[in-house]
Amino acid sequence: MEGSFSHKKVFLLGNPNCGKTSLFNALTGERRHVGNWPGVTVERIEGGREHKNFKLTFIDLPGSYSLNPFTPEEAIALTILDEASNGLFLNIIDSGNLERNLVLTFQLLEIGIRPILVFNCYDELLTKGGKINLTEVQNQTGCLAITTIAPSKKGIPELLDLIVSEQKAENRSVPMGLSDFWQSAMERICKSQGLTFFDLSPSKRLEAENILGGSTEATPDAKEIREQLFSSLSESARLTSHTSSNLACFLALNRYERIRKFISTCLTLEKEIKIEWKERLDGFLTHKIFGFPILIALMILVFWTTFSVGSIPAGWIQQALGWLSQTGKDYLPEGLVSDLLINGLLAGVGGVLVFLPNVLILFLWLAILEDSGYMARAVFLMDRFMQTLGLHGRAFIPMAMSLGCNVPAVMATKILEDPLQRLRVIFLLPLVPCSARLPVLVLLCGAFFPRHPSLVLFLLYFINLLVILILGRVSQSLFRSSRDSYFLLEMPPYRWPTPRSVFLLLWEKASHFVKKAGTVILCGTILIWFLSSFPRTVPLTQDFDEAISELSKQGPSEQIEKQIEILASKRDQEQLSGRYLAKIGNQLLPIVKPIGFGWREAILRFFMFPALQPLELFIVKVNRWGLLLFR
């Protein structure tokens, strides 16, 4: 029955953070990145599904506050206006924040687009004590309307039915357009260019509106129309109290006035319930004095739990592995093969598994930070500090995400508007130790600094941070950009991360980590095994084995055991320093000696390179970067 399918394109348009991607995921079954801060989605994403003989293609877009684009991402959303007029628009509206969300809706209506109105986050409106009268909405706007709760998939089947039944996004007549005053001015502007408003495509209509609002350069004719409009508006505004010095302001005022009327007829607020804990929490988390300490404490908590709590289940895994390698040693004949199996492969696989708890805890924290709404607050707190590095506070988001994985973090740099800043952050990001690098670091710290592995690890992280700060500073003085950027960041409401979404996220991250880190670390450990076991015979200063067996013949006593131990460790050290690993380290020594490093540190630095993933980043993302930078 392939042939009987009809195709339909459905575009998801709405304010940032209103739940477009959540809805997209619910509609298509995909698992795209969702986060409780504005600007998560930065590019057009497509996904499909079938419903009642229809093949539906859904297109998720970056959020936009209005049709007057302010960021490059919003401009992406605009490019689809005409393409979509043969498909369908879903205008996602955050019900908890109706007034501002409706600005986009009303603008769409003004230029003759008839979207399906999806009142998402309906649960939040209900808890505030509000209700939307859908029939009234449909009567007034001429659009289909529905309420949904994306994370729990409430209203999704009904929405699919609506999508299938709805015909076309564009509407020649404008059921709920601009007020007559403005509408006639707009039609006159079109006429002055020899066009008819009602025959124009949505994007052309928008152009006319922009000329009226003053954001587009106007012809002399249009200027005159604007001046007339302005003087008559100021005249009538003198009667009311609200006046303004420019037309754009009058236009926005007019729109908000219509929105206010619309809401008063379509929304019933039985009793307004204020959620006080959220306000208090916000006052606390962004407090002038406590804000910073809380942020730092949170970051320390993230790291502390990642390492210390994570090490408990890691210990169990280690025990299991130890048992496995012991039984392996017992049953396999001694030799190079068993050495490779046990010290190379098993150690490698184990090396990955042992870190799974740490990595999962790290991702759990990142999910909580992102879904709760704290990310935006962190940006708010960090902005001034980041400015001293010549970066926008938003750079904190990719930096924090980078602790998990560098690749999505590079994508997240799109929230930085200045391309030069974006480039600088992209080059700083590989310096942030991501979760896949953590095992390598722990492994090497354990191998080379057996006495204080965790201290060295923390030191490494700290040095890392310093290096990032210094390089950030240096890069700022090298590439000072003249463009002043804007802050203008909506603080999303605090939300509880849903257990389901967190679980799914962790599951995904775990399998991703095992796959990705698995290959890198497995190869790494086998390489290290090879370098530290070859050449097989190393000239020793004395025959340690002989001496040990002689000692052990003298019968068991505490002193002798100690001596044996000392001899054994001396033997191992001498052997190790004869192997390739040490030779490479010694080769590197002249480079690192001036800083006061020995060959062990040199090796450590050396092995950090395969773990640094810039190379992989380059290959995978190079085309994306191209788009990103030279857009």
Partner 1 sequence: MVRVKYTLADLQAGNTGTVRDIEQSNSLTNRLMDLGFLPGTKVKALCCAPLGDPLTFFIRGYCIGLRKSEARLITLDREDPTA
Residue in the structure block whose two tokens are 């490093």: 597
The per-residue b/e assignment along 41-59, b for 16 or more CB within 10 angstroms, e otherwise, is: bbeebebbeeeeeeebebb
Q: Kindly state whether residue 289 participates in binding partner 1, applying the rule CB under 8 A.
A: yes
Per-residue x/- track, 132-151, ligand GTP (CB under 6 A): -----------------xxx
Q: Kindly state whether residue 97 participates in binding Mg ion, applying the rule CB under 5 A.
A: no
- Subset of residues 56 to 75 that bind partner 1, contact rule: CB under 8 A: 65-66, 68, 70
Per-residue x/- track, 42-81, ligand GTP (CB under 6 A): --------------------xx------------------
Q: Kindly state whether residue 27 participates in binding ligand GTP, applying the rule CB under 6 A.
A: no
- In this complex, which beta carbon is closest to partner 1, that of residue 213 or of residue 404? 213
- In this complex, which beta carbon is closest to ligand GTP, that of residue 61 or of residue 528? 61
Phi first, then psi, for residue 88 (nearest 5°) are: -130, 150
Is it true that the peptide bond before 72 is cis, omega within 30 degrees of 0? no
Q: Kindly state whether residue 105 participates in binding ligand GTP, applying the rule CB under 6 A.
A: no
Q: Kindly state whether residue 41 participates in binding ligand GTP, applying the rule CB under 6 A.
A: yes
**CB-CB contact of 29 with 49 (8 Å):** yes
Q: Kindly state whether residue 41 participates in binding Mg ion, applying the rule CB under 5 A.
A: yes
CA 196 – CA 187 distance, rounded (Å): 7
Cβ 617 to partner 1 shortest distance, Å: 31
- In this complex, which beta carbon is closest to Mg ion, that of residue 153 or of residue 516? 153
**The binder of ligand GTP chosen from 49, 128, 131, 495 (CB under 6 A):** 495
Beta bridge partners of 55: 7, 50
CA 393 – CA 160 distance, rounded (Å): 39
**CB-CB contact of 517 with 439 (8 Å):** yes
**The binder of partner 1 chosen from 211, 426, 489, 505 (CB under 8 A):** 489
Q: Kindly state whether residue 281 participates in binding partner 1, applying the rule CB under 8 A.
A: no
In terms of C-beta density within 10 A (0-12 exposed, 13-18 middle, 19 or more buried), how is residue 597 classed? middle
Given ligand GTP, partner 1, Mg ion, none, residue 241, with its beta carbon under 5 to 8 Å by kind, binds: partner 1
Residue in the structure block whose two tokens are 């970056």: 62
How much is the CA Rg of the chain, to the nearest whole Å? 31
Per-residue x/- track, 1-40, Mg ion (CB under 5 A): -------------------xx------------------x
- In this complex, which beta carbon is closest to ligand GTP, that of residue 16 or of residue 344? 16
For strands 267-269 and 145-147, give the pairing.
Answer: unpaired
Q: Kindly state whether residue 214 participates in binding partner 1, applying the rule CB under 8 A.
A: yes
Given partner 1, Mg ion, ligand GTP, none, residue 184, with its beta carbon under 5 to 8 Å by kind, binds: none
Which of helix, strand or coil describes residue 8? Answer: strand
Q: Kindly state whether residue 121 participates in binding ligand GTP, applying the rule CB under 6 A.
A: yes
**The binder of partner 1 chosen from 151, 202, 351, 393 (CB under 8 A):** 393
For 55, the enclosing helix (H) or strand (E) is strand 54-60
Cβ 92 to ligand GTP shortest distance, Å: 7
**CB-CB contact of 63 with 38 (8 Å):** yes
Cβ 33 to ligand GTP shortest distance, Å: 7
**The binder of partner 1 chosen from 54, 380, 530, 625 (CB under 8 A):** 380
Phi first, then psi, for residue 46 (nearest 5°) are: -115, 150
Contacts 24+ apart (CB under 8 A), 158-161: 159/27, 159/90, 159/116, 159/118, 160/27, 160/51, 160/52, 160/56, 161/51, 161/52
**CB-CB contact of 233 with 250 (8 Å):** yes
Residue in the structure block whose two tokens are 């992280």: 461
Contacts to ligand GTP by CB under 6 A: 14, 16-22, 34-36, 38-41, 62-63, 120-121, 123-124, 149-151, 371, 495
Contacts to partner 1 by CB under 8 A: 65-66, 68, 70, 96-100, 103, 213-215, 241-249, 252-253, 256, 282-283, 286-289, 291-292, 376, 379-381, 383-385, 387, 393, 484, 486-491, 493
Contacts to Mg ion by CB under 5 A: 20-21, 40-41
